[in-house]
Structure 1
Amino acid sequence: MSKPLLTILATACALTLPALAHSRQVNLSVQLKNYGGDGAYLAAYLTDAKGAYAGTLWVAGGKAKYYKHLADWNRLSAGDSKRLTGVTGASVGAGRTLKVTADLADALIDAGYEIHIDAAVEDKRDSPSEIRIPLSTANAGKPQAGKQYIQALTYQLQ
């Protein structure tokens, strides 16, 4: 097997089979700005140290026809047929907070992986990779400001 294929398989197993590996709970809190518009579609996902898609944590927004506006996530995750299994919910209103909990393999933390949040709001500009933050113990608990719609992303490791 090629090295990239082995990396993809290892990552997929680490994300989808956390019960078989040591895992940690990651709690994301995404506070939106009061941007004066409709609810935001958000995609929270991971990339590896080379920027390759590693898995979807959550997608806020129930109408798949709008997922194309979550451009980076949509482009990177297009080949992942299971990307939405159990990881979708309603869009998030302006000024509100999205809270998401995920189990991630310990091997992903402090290993060059990044949490990304893409954002899109109807009749407003899309914001691919609105936030990118390394998944590390050092960044846990530290709010990270977004570029356009997100006031702050904070995550906690349990």
Structure 2
Amino acid sequence: MSKPLITAIAAACALAVPALGQAREVTIATQLKNYGGDGAYLAVYLTDAKGAYAGTLWVAGGKAKYYKHLADWSRLSAGDAKRLNGVTGASVGAGRTLRVTADLADALIDAGYEIRIDAAVEDMRDSPSEVRLPLTAAGAGKAQAGKQYIQSASFQLK
């Protein structure tokens, strides 16, 4: 088997709610700054301990032609043909909050995975990997500031 195929299979297994294993509900809240521009496109995705793409949790923004501006997510997820299946919605306005909920395998928590959020706004600079949240039990509920468009991002575990 090729390495990309093995990685894709591992990511699919890790993100799916395992039939025999345990899963946790994770809710990610991303509060945008009042940056004075159009709605933001956001990609919320997971990477493993080595920084490799592990799966897309949500993409906010309706026009696929702009997804290339979510640079790190676009580059890392390029080989994932199903990266957008059921995980897209409208862009997020300045000052608004995006909440994303997903079921993640317990094995991902405290295993070096990160929740990453890329951001882009029309006619403004792109902000790849604007926020990187280590997926740890200790990190749950702790807000982290973004670099450009995101005021703060955090996640909760249930």
Matched, 1:52 2:52: yes
Superposition pairs of residues 1-150 of structure 1, within 5 angstroms: 6=6, 8-150=8-150
1:67 Cα deviation from its structure 2 partner: 0.1
1:14 Cα deviation from its structure 2 partner: 1.6
1:6 Cα deviation from its structure 2 partner: 4.5
1:85 Cα deviation from its structure 2 partner: 0.7
Ranges of 4+ aligned residues in structure 1 off by more than 3 Å:
1-8, 17-20
The SS at the match of 2:42 is: strand
Pick closer, same or farther for the CA change 1:79–1:149 going to 2, 3 Å: same
Amino acid of the residue matched to residue 40 of structure 2? A
CA distance in 1, matches of 2:128, 2:3: 29
Counting aligned pairs with the same residue, the percent is: 80
TM-score, length of structure 1 as denominator length: 0.94
Amino acid of the residue matched to residue 139 of structure 1? G
Write out per-residue CA displacement over residues 41-67 of structure 1, whole angstroms, 9 at most, x where no aligned residue. Answer: 000000000010000000000100000
Amino acid of the residue matched to residue 78 of structure 1? A
Unaligned runs of 5+ in 2: none
1:7 Cα deviation from its structure 2 partner: 5.2
TM-score, length of structure 2 as denominator length: 0.94
CA distance in 2, matches of 1:19, 1:36: 45
1:18 Cα deviation from its structure 2 partner: 3.4
Task: Give the superposed CA RMSD.
Answer: 1.5
The SS at the match of 2:155 is: strand
The number of aligned residues is 158
Pick closer, same or farther for the CA change 1:90–1:17 going to 2, 3 Å: same
Pick closer, same or farther for the CA change 1:94–1:54 going to 2, 3 Å: same
CA distance in 1, matches of 2:86, 2:4: 27
CA distance in 2, matches of 1:79, 1:5: 9
CA distance in 1, matches of 2:42, 2:2: 33
1:154 Cα deviation from its structure 2 partner: 1.1
